[in-house]
Amino acid sequence: MTAPQRVSYRMESTLDSVNKAEEMAEQQAARAGLDEDTRSGFSMAVREAMINAVLHGNAYDTAKRVNLSFEQNGRELIVTINDEGRGFVPEEVPDPLAPENLLKESGRGIFLMRAFMDEVRFRKLEPGTEIILIKRLPGSDLDREEAST
Amino acid sequence: MSMKASNRQVDGITIVDLSGRITLGEGSVTLREAIKDLLGKGQKKILLNLGDVSYIDSSGIGELVSAFTSVRNQGGELKLLHLTKKVHDLLQITKLYTVFDVKDDEAAAIGAFSR
């Protein structure tokens, strides 16, 4: 079994951080052996989680930081992103696929994270929110279990 | 890569050729300004050519929705042309593919606008 590998970054609440995180996600996904389509979805989910932290969480506040980490344990690629914002209740975010919400300009970020990741978890911090994104790696035990069910 | 937008006129329809990424920040703003500018000039039949748009995030999707509703609210029509697979898939999973009028052929798209 591969020893877990983890890298962490403390980033400013800027658009530049969102773009950098997306690039790093693409590199991490390539290193983990994900195919091009899966890589693209993975990096988009990370981008959306970063937008959530930088824009909706920290509201571009220069005094607040976003912590981003990637962990690869041989079975999964785990991304953890936390902000220092006011926090939110994920269950209260309206369903963007509901007919009355289809033409809304915002509110699709969490939906996209869930669409491209195997698992998305939220944890309330004091202050802020932590988002954990999990992508199972092809050929891992977890991936095989899922395929057989 | 930032986004670029250029306009051309064909049979009274404004075709906006977009290239790059429509994402939070510059790309979304460029699209918003392009639509605002066209509506300001009374050009309300708009075909957005997304053939060279490599990537759209949730903000870009929101901007496309905003463009669609802004044009429609002013009595115009907005259609999408030449979606890449990535953008096509994104509009499918967000259920917006059926909201937008999406075309694969420019001449057919021009012909589909009401006269």
Q: Is A74 left (phi over 0), alpha (psi -120 to 50) or beta?
A: left
- Please compute, for residue B23, the number of CA atoms within 13 A of its CA located in the half-sphere on the CB side: 18
Give me the mean pLDDT over the B18-34 stretch.
93
Q: Which helix (H) or strand (E) holds B55?
A: strand B45-56
Pairwise CB contact (< 8 Å): B96 & A102: yes
Within 124-143 of A, beta carbons closer than 8 Å to B belong to none
CA distance A46 to chain B (A): 11
Residue B115 belongs to a domain: no
The neighbouring-strand residues paired with B15 are: B8, B47
Please count the other Cβ atoms lying within 10 Å of the Cβ belonging to residue B8: 11
Pure H helices in chain A:
15-31, 36-51, 109-116, 141-148
| Residue B33 maps to a domain | yes
pLDDT at B27: 87
Strand partners, A66: A11
The pLDDT value recorded for residue A140 is 72
In a domain, B100, yes or no: yes
Instruction: Give the model's confidence band at B26: pLDDT under 50 very low, under 70 low, under 90 confident, else very high.
Output: confident
Residue A147 has pLDDT above 60, yes or no: no
Cβ of residue B66 closer than 8 Å to a chain A Cβ? yes
CATH number at residue B26: 3.30.750.24
B61 belongs to a structural domain: yes
Interface contact flag, A108 B62, Cβ < 8 Å: yes
pLDDT by residue (tens digit) across B32-50? 999 999 999 999 999 999 9
Helix or strand (DSSP H, E) at A131: strand A129-136
Stated length of chain B: 115
The pLDDT confidence band at residue B83, using thresholds 50, 70 and 90, is: very high
Number of domains into which chain B is organized: 1
> Does B110 touch chain A if contact means CB atoms closer than 8 Å?
no
**pLDDT on residue A138:** 87
pLDDT for position A22: 97
Task: Please give the residue range of the domain that contains residue B89.
Answer: 4-108
Evaluate if residue A145 carries a pLDDT over 70: no
Share of chain B above pLDDT 70, in %: 99
Q: What pLDDT, on a 0 to 100 scale, did the predictor assign at position A144?
A: 57
* A55 touching chain B per CB within 8 A: yes
Whether the predicted model's global pTM rises above the 0.90 cut: yes
- Are B62 and A111 inside 8 Å of each other by CB? no
Residue B113 lies in a domain: no
Structure confidence at residue A63 as a pLDDT band (50, 70, 90): very high
**B72 in a domain, yes or no?**
yes
Give the pLDDT confidence score for residue A146 in this predicted structure.
58
Quote the pLDDT of residue A18. 97
Closest Cα in chain B to A102: B96
Token couple for A125: 């911090």
- Please say if the pLDDT value at position A56 is more than 70: yes
- Among chain B residues, the shortest Cα distance to A51 is held by B24
Sketch out chain A's domains with CATH numbers.
Answer: 5-148 (3.30.565.10)
pLDDT tens, residue by residue, A4-19: 799 999 999 999 999 9
Question: What's the pLDDT at A4?
Answer: 79
